[in-house]
Amino acid sequence: MFKNVFGSGFLVRTAHVILTWVITLILFLHDTDLRKQEETGQFVQPVCFVLLVLVSVLLYFAVSLMDPGFILSDDSDLQLTLGVTEEQQDMIPPPTKSLRQRRCGHCLLQQPMRSKHCQTCQHCVRRYDHHCPWIENCVGERNHRWFVLYLAVQLLALLWGLHISWTGFSYASTWQLWLRTNGVLLAVATLVALLLLIVLLLLGSHLYLVSLNTTTWEFMSRHRISYLKHCGADENPFDRGTLHNLWSFFCVWGTVVWEQVYFREDSSQV
């Protein structure tokens, strides 16, 4: 389930963890609400904040080290085992004749629908979304929901951290003195605000795409994808309604045979 911790992303993961705990430490060392509550024996909020940061770090490692859905062997019998027969594939209208599973030109394995080969990971990934340099791993079928959950927890931690840093700014008579007194905290607040904006945009875009049952790769490259090229600009053969899409994404576990979903949608249009 998990890859080697000391793989190619070791430096990225180490930098993320160090940055996270350095920022947390700075928020405790400066005259913020966290430090004031700690000094007065009120430990509820400081402990909750540390636990939230810890959960975000654990989720980061889970998403970063988790198998995103690598295809490691041929699934030549998958469509027969799970209900998509060759006879059904032959009934698909002419524009979709190229939808038969094709072999990847890099790893030479058959690619199920919605999978793609990642040049960085050197594997084909089921329901490929994108390769994220932040986690140094692909986001795919197995870890996509955990990636969205991680973004949500990270957003809460950053929002709270930005609020805490704001409470630590102290008054000074001149700008020069103010910068000397609050320079480190200002740098932390600026960095947290920048990260907050990035995470907010990422979370919003992923929730939007999930609600449509599409992926980042499909959204950006649909004109080059064989099973989407013939579809209209607003047509998505995998969309089963916003609530159904969200429920399936967050609450339904296991491998989905997207050929079945595609075939049923295509049949309803014939």
| Amino acid in the structure at residue 138 | C
Residue 107 among the catalytic residues: no
The sheet that has 123-125: what strands, in order across it? Answer: 70-71, 123-125, 116-118
- Residues ≥6 apart with Cβ < 8 Å to 132: 138, 139, 147
Q: Which of 107, 118, 124, 132 is catalytic?
A: 132
C-beta of residue 223 within 8 angstroms of C-beta of residue 196: no
User: 66 by DSSP, 3-state: which?
Assistant: strand
C-beta of residue 60 within 8 angstroms of C-beta of residue 5: no
- Residues ≥6 apart with Cβ < 8 Å to 37: 43, 44, 45, 46
Within the chain, residue ranges assigned H as helices are 10-29, 33-39, 44-65, 78-81, 86-91, 144-167, 175-211, 216-221, 242-251, 258-269
C-beta of residue 135 within 8 angstroms of C-beta of residue 60: yes
Catalytic residues: 132
